[in-house]
Structure 1
Amino acid sequence: MPEITLPDVTLHWQEAGDPQGAPVVFAHALGTDARLWDALLPLMPGGLRLITYDLRGHGRSAVPQPPYSMGALVRDTERLLDGLGLKETVFVGLSIGGMVAQGLAVKRLDLVRGLVLSNTAAKIGTPKQWQARMAAVEAGGMAAIAPATIERWFARGNRSSPEAALWRARLEATPAAGYLGGCAAVSGTDFYTPTSGLRLPTLGIAGSEDGSTPADLVRETVDLIPGADFRLIRRSGHLPCVEQPAAYAEILTGFLDRIGHRAQA
């Protein structure tokens, strides 16, 4: 599996689609990994180079000691894209990945020509809420937060599905140190002011039953960027690319076509 070694972390990444296509980069949610996009990628059209990667502390990437800062996560991504020689990507970020997307666009607009902010916000939760979650993990491990997390991640009718069971197992297998590091990064982030200064094609995606970043919160963030579009996926929670991959692919493909990001056959 491809890896890139940075000064303080090694990141695992992979690609699908057309190696010569227009680049689309995907950043996953806290407590997941690059496999979050597995159901979506085969539904994407041709003419695209699809890049997924594991954030530090997640998946097959290295697990530095926490806490992590959002700046470190953005810097990891910046160095990954530079290392792969990528410019003018469409960057799709979900949850903490959407915060990374915002920070990357603010810092390196040369790397991002289009932004997809999925189930995310400029600010998520409060430091007190994140401290409580971190304390639960420190006391009882990842299993201590799994039931409540699945309720936030999946729509009511999908919480007993095979997908929910799979992602609960993957959540519980996430290194506690990596999860705690990510919690610290989100807790310390407020992107309302920098995100309001962005001027680039932007799409917001929300789930109608998202218990982590409700649709109104996603819309509030997307509305900070003039001209941004917003789409709601019904019967979906925090991970619509898992629950409703066909709807997600249709919305994402439409955005890519509107901004002329893929080669037409």
Structure 2
Amino acid sequence: MSRAVVLIHGFGTSARLWDQVLPLLQGQVLTLDLPGFGDSPDERYSVDGMADAVQERLAGLQDFVLVGHSMGGKVAAVLAARRPVGLSGLLLIAPSPLSPEPMTAHGRQALKAAYGQPDLLAEHYRQITRQPLSENTLAQLVSDGVRASQAAWNAWPDSGSREDRASEAGRIEVPVSLLTSQDDPVISPGVVAQHLLSTYSGAALTRLTGSGHLLPLELPAAVARFIEQGASTGFPAGHR
């Protein structure tokens, strides 16, 4: 894997989402905390604000791929639509769609109610996964949920997930690859068919089974293979 890989985590988590994937990757890998999550004090909680924060971290990278999970997938796609210099590919793992994510009002309220509540957070992560999580992994997820900014936490269900950015997909010039799970209760096969494949025309799709929504934690080896393959098949440096 010669080009750099930029890993963008999803809602409620942090750069630690990739801890089990990182040892399996070769070459230069950049992880970061999105505004309001992990150790980031940044207060740019909109989709564009998060994309701005990522773009600022790309300085000096001449050939790279963006990898986004869940909420980070929408952020990565919006950034890819800006056609940043050096971008060679877009790899999306169980991504939130560019169109409004189909969440029920009850689901949005339940997500907001879980903020800062360890028991509710633990139950949430058990519900959206299909592989058993170790005690340490679950504790890490809960810790990230507790330390997140409440404003950032609420911004996603209230606004970010509702934004319709589907028209921007046509501006993405690099190859797009999707990794999903047939057993994901969040980005379900129906969401994939109706909101992802219809938006990312011509994207390569890899479907897994046996994982819920947190693929980097549930099936890290499969995620690493997906990233390695995608990083090696993007556009060559200087293509544009």
Q: TM-score, normalised by structure 1?
A: 0.76
Is the CA contact 2:18–2:217 (under 8 Å) kept in the aligned structure 1? yes
Structure 2: tracts of 5 or more residues without a match: none
The corresponding residue for 1:150 is 125
Quote how far apart the aligned CAs of 1:129 are. Answer: 5.2
- The answer for the alignment partner of 2:14 in structure 1 is 33
Q: Please tell me whether the aligned partners of residues 117 and 222 of structure 1 are also in contact (alpha carbons under 8 angstroms).
A: no
Report the secondary structure of 1:110's partner residue: coil
Secondary structure of 1:158 counterpart: coil
Aligned ranges 1:62-73 → 2 under 5 Å: 62-64=41-43, 68-73=45-50
CA contact under 8 A between 1:55 and 1:73: conserved in structure 2? yes
- For the pair 1:203 / 2:177, whether they are aligned, the reply is yes
Distance 1:142 1:89, change over 3 A: farther
Are positions 1:215 and 2:189 aligned together? yes
User: Percent same amino acid at aligned positions?
Assistant: 25
Does structure 1 residue 91 correspond to structure 2 residue 72?
Answer: no
The whole-number CA distance in structure 2 between the counterparts of 1:112 and 1:148 is 38
- How far residue 215 of structure 1 moved from its aligned partner, in angstroms, is 3.4
Q: Deviations over 1:187-218 (max 9, x none)?
A: 34222221144332111011232222213423
Q: 1:39 to 1:112 in 2, by over 3 A?
A: same
What is the number of residues matched between the two proteins?
A: 234
Instruction: Work out which of the residue numbers 49, 52, 75 in structure 2 matches 1:100.
Output: 75
Q: Does 1:224 align with 2:202?
A: no
Once residues 161 and 208 of structure 1 are traced to their aligned partners in structure 2, the CA distance between those partners, rounded to angstroms, is: 25
Please, what is the CA RMSD of the aligned residues? 2.8
CA pair 184-87 structure 1, distance change in 2 beyond 3 A: farther
Equivalent runs, 1:124-203 vs 2, <5 Å = 124-126=101-103, 128=105, 132-133=109-110, 136-137=113-114, 141-143=116-118, 145-155=120-130, 157-158=131-132, 162-203=136-177
Give every structure 1 segment of 4 or more consecutive aligned residues whose post-TM-superposition deviation is greater than 6 Å: none
Q: Which amino acid aligns with 1:181?
A: A
Q: Structure 2 length normalisation: TM-score?
A: 0.83
CA distance in 2, matches of 1:261, 1:234: 31
**CA separation of 1:141 and 1:154: change in aligned 2, threshold 3 A:** same
CA distance in 1 between partners of 2:68 and 2:21 (Å): 14
| Unaligned ranges ≥5, structure 1 | 1-17
Q: Distance in 1 between matches of 2:148 and 2:11?
A: 9
Aligned residue for 1:6? none
Higher RCO (CA 8 Å, separation ≥ 6 residues): 2
